[in-house]
A = this chain, B = another copy of it.
Amino acid sequence: MNNLRRIAVIICICLISAFAKAQKDSIQIKQIYNEALTNGNSYQWLDYLSNQIGSRLSGSLGAELAVEWTKSQLDSIGLDKVWLQPVMVPKWIRGATEYAYIETGLGETTQVPICALGGSIATPPNGLKASVIEVKGIEELKALGKDKVAGKVVFYNRPMQDELIETFRAYGGCVDQRYSGAAEAAKLGAAGVIVRSVTHSIDDYPHTGSMSYGDLPRAQHIPAAAISTKGAELLSTLLKLNPDTKFYYSMSCRNLPDVESFNVIGEITGREYPNKYMVVGGHLDSWDLGDGSHDDGAGVVQSMEVLRLMKAVGYKPKHSIRVVLFMNEENGLRGGRKYAAEAKKNNERHVFALESDAGGFTPRGFSFDSDDRNFDEVLSWKPLFEPYLIHYFEKGGSGADIGPLKEGNKGIVLAGLRPDSQRYFDHHHAANDTFDAVNKRELELGAATMTSLIYLMDNYIQKPGIKMTTSIRD
């Protein structure tokens, strides 16, 4: 009987303490959201970054201005340390605005919107005109063989799959055309490639993005452009009417030698584990057509806001929390690799990293690259996020820039913010990725959601071999 009573008392104490902890967390998280929504700074920051600085392609003036300005802003919010981490980055420049037209059999021409893919070589100075061979992908191209491809412009026209709910999956199903399409076509003797823009929207915006010639010798490189979806539909129709339809384009982009740039880093030093690091970040570089507000200005200002919010609500983290604004995610990932390499060199043990690089839309949750123990821990936090309409907690990818931290940080948990993705690819890498496409509240909700996750990770992350005693599931 005495034993039973003791067990009952212990159970009660456990329940009460679990409840008290859950309540403490819920109060802390409410404070974070309140501050973000009523007194947030992410939207003003994004306004400046997008409208005063603008596009930030690696190696460009915009990128360097963004480095300076974000450092100055981090300096102003009272972090323990702020510094620049040098990194050599590629410098590709677009040159004059591209020009393209379709020439039908009767000699009529129709101009269509194109843009060079990042990393492409230029066309000859007077442009390139050739017959077109349309394919739905690389496999179809290979099946055609050299005879049918040599000397032609290869037109990759596989659209995104509209029926996929998660648009990043549809993106993943198409992007090989853009990234590897030129190299594969060049191997078959093509004169050039044009690729249907990777977007759901049928409109006039060409969407750029990185491409690679792989290990092809320089002499075999061919110019690669994206064509707007409307342009692609038109070209496809005209090709059906007349297979002899020709495509002309002229581009003056080129690759210059690497230049020095920087990751921008700020830190709140941990009060219990100053030598264990948690990272929150986005990438500071962008493509050059819009101002990169969604990709990834949003992730940059949200990551800065995470540390500002912690200061504002008076939360002193146990671990050292770093904001890292990575340079050169878009066309090289040099910043992400550099940060991980330096961390390894300096024996900085990283336990958690979170990236926001999927747009500034309403946050829906996170995807995790994590062991089961920590993922189960995360799932136990679901009730804390429900009042904020955050429901999505799935295993999956995290973010390109934080990926390199996996090597050298055994057991590190990686996470990616998952905003609503339906509108993202309408803007991605195109001239309409601009500030007006970002909603203030949606952006702020993302920052608060990220901060809440870091807060919970800071308190309850399960490190390899150590079971933290503070878990709310204890």
Q: Which residues of A contact B (CB under 8 A)?
A: 33-34, 37-38, 162-163, 165-167, 200-201, 362, 364, 387-389, 391-392, 420, 422-423, 426, 439-442, 445
Contacts and interface: CB of A to CB of B under 8 A. Distances in A.
What's the number of copies of this chain in the assembled complex? 2
Contact of A422 (B38, B392, B423, B445): B445
Which of A200, A389, A391 has the most chain B CB atoms inside 10 A of its CB?
A389
B362 A389 contact: no
A165 B388 contact: yes
A149 to B, nearest CB: 30
Q: Name the 4 nearest CB pairs between A and B, nearest first.
A: A391-B391, A34-B163, A422-B441, A37-B162
Nearest to A388: B165
A38 B34 CA distance: 40
A34 B423 CA distance: 18
A389 to B, nearest CB: 6
A201 B165 contact: no
Given A423-B439, A423-B442, A440-B201, A38 B163 contact: yes
A37 B163 contact: yes
A364 B389 contact: yes
Contacts of A163: 33-34, 37-38
Contacts of A389: 165-166, 364, 392
Given A362-B362, A362-B422, A441 B387 contact: no
Contacts of A392: 389, 391
B38 A162 contact: yes
Contacts of A442: 422-423
Contacts of A423: 439, 441-442
A37 B387 CA distance: 30
A391 B165 CA distance: 14
Contacts of A162: 37-38, 441
A162 B442 CA distance: 12
A389 B200 CA distance: 19
Contacts of A364: 389
A250 B43 CA distance: 36
Given A167-B441, A422-B442, A423-B442, 12 more contacts: A33-B165, A38-B162, A38-B163, A166-B389, A362-B420, A364-B389, A391-B392, A420-B420, A422-B439, A422-B445, A423-B439, A423-B441
A92 B421 CA distance: 40
A358 to B, nearest CB: 14
A366 to B, nearest CB: 14
A441 B364 CA distance: 17
Nearest to A443: B422
A357 B462 CA distance: 44
Contacts of A420: 362, 420
A387 B201 contact: no
